[in-house]
Structure 1
Amino acid sequence: MSDDDAEPEMLLRYLQGLREALLWKLDGVPEHDVRRPLTATGTNLLGLVKHVASMEMGYFTAPLGRPSPVPMPWLEAGAALNADLYATQEESREWVRDFYRTSWRTTDDAVAELGLGAPAQVPWWGENGRTTLGRLLVHLIAETARHAGHADILREQLDGAVGMQDGNDNMPPAEDAEWQDHVVELQRIADEFL
């Protein structure tokens, strides 16, 4: 296998890890908490997953001349403010999960069938919209990582769960009391700048 053959696999492996980390953030969270706004702009865990699924589906369909297997009315003109960043009452957690997994397959199929050098045209990028599938994939990895980071913070606020997956918090070993002492020390340092 040449390096060129391995690159798509490597990129998709990194992307898949991020995808799974993002979905894990929904596990074990009560329905109310997975949907409730946790920031001044309404960001919530289930909405982040819907947004990333929408973004992934959006980049790997029309810009590559491929149809979307799922209608996305929340992205159409006249949709409610940030309609891709929250799940409606009719959109269950399982529906959002399934939609995200469908977007994964859509992306993975496009990469396998077209290759990283395939031309793409992203209308919402304006005059910089001519690009390649490879650049779209790198862009998607960056955006998914960004939103997985948002989900990390939201989940930690809800119940203290951190990390990339259950059993892998990716944090230095410390007892709760040590973390509490750490936070107190950071607050003390911050207060020096009042």
Structure 2
Amino acid sequence: MTTSESTTSAPIVTGERADLLQALAKQRHFLGFTARDLTDDQARQRTTASELCVGGLIKHVTSVERGWIGFMLEGPSAMPDFTAMTEEDWAARAADFRLLPEETLAGVLAEYEKVAAETDELVRTLPDLDRRWPLPKAPWTEPGAEWSVRSVLIHIVAETAQHAGHADIIRESLDGAKSMG
């Protein structure tokens, strides 16, 4: 390549968008770090009273983030009406919290990386972080509530951090490894 040729790269991001990207990256790192050196069987293992396992938490965070990507782009039509879900629907969603026998930790981590890249691209390129959408119908959502794209991104950071903490406890119970300390 000559010096007159240019390379394609992501736009440089500053300010609030850079802060959001940094917060997302930090919490994603902590979540992914809990899976370091685990086998698939270890990533499936429950070590606490809950149904949670490290691989399932990563799978869940990936699924939730994917859903919020749709919401940021299309609004509530991209998400289910949680008030209309049946017990069967909820049982199917519960599989998000388990690393199933046919799944691998490497595969779940690769999918998480892909979804994270999609979110990061939206942070860099969406024209308006103030765009608001009504939240999907859900028992935990106040009727008529709306979130901006910014609020969704903050929620993704918070959800990732919460589940990174869960994963850290599970991992420490599994083999004594900790993310920090």
TM-score normalised by the shorter chain: which range applies?
0.7 to 0.9
Structure 1 unaligned runs (5+)? 69-75, 164-168, 172-194
CA distance in 2, matches of 1:133, 1:63: 6
Q: Percent identity?
A: 34
Which of the residues 116, 125, 133 maps onto 1:120? 133
Provide Cα deviations, 1:71-94, integer angstroms capped at 9, x if missing partner: xxxxx9365361110122222112
Which of the residues 9, 24, 28 maps onto 1:15? 24
For residues 15-164 of structure 1, the aligned pairs below 5 Å read 15-65=24-74, 77=89, 79-80=91-92, 82-114=94-126, 115-123=128-136, 124=138, 125=141, 127-163=143-179
8 Å contact kept, 1:45–1:155: yes
Poorly superposed stretches of 4+, deviation over 6 Å: none
Root mean square deviation, CA, Å: 2.4
State the Cα distance separating 1:127 from its structure 2 match. 2.3
Amino acid at match of 1:39: T
8 Å contact kept, 2:44–2:100: no
CA distance in 1, matches of 2:166, 2:42: 15
State the Cα distance separating 1:41 from its structure 2 match. 2.9
8 Å contact kept, 1:64–1:120: no
Q: Label 1:152 to 1:27 Cα distance change in 2 as closer, same or farther (>3 A).
A: same
State the Cα distance separating 1:118 from its structure 2 match. 2.5
Find the structure with the greater CA-based Rg. 1
State the Cα distance separating 1:5 from its structure 2 match. 4.5
State the Cα distance separating 1:27 from its structure 2 match. 1.2
8 Å contact kept, 1:8–1:116: no
Amino acid at match of 1:104: A
Structure 2 unaligned runs (5+)? 1-12, 79-87
Q: Label 1:7 to 1:29 Cα distance change in 2 as closer, same or farther (>3 A).
A: same
8 Å contact kept, 1:52–1:144: yes
State the Cα distance separating 1:126 from its structure 2 match. 5.4
Q: Label 1:117 to 1:22 Cα distance change in 2 as closer, same or farther (>3 A).
A: same
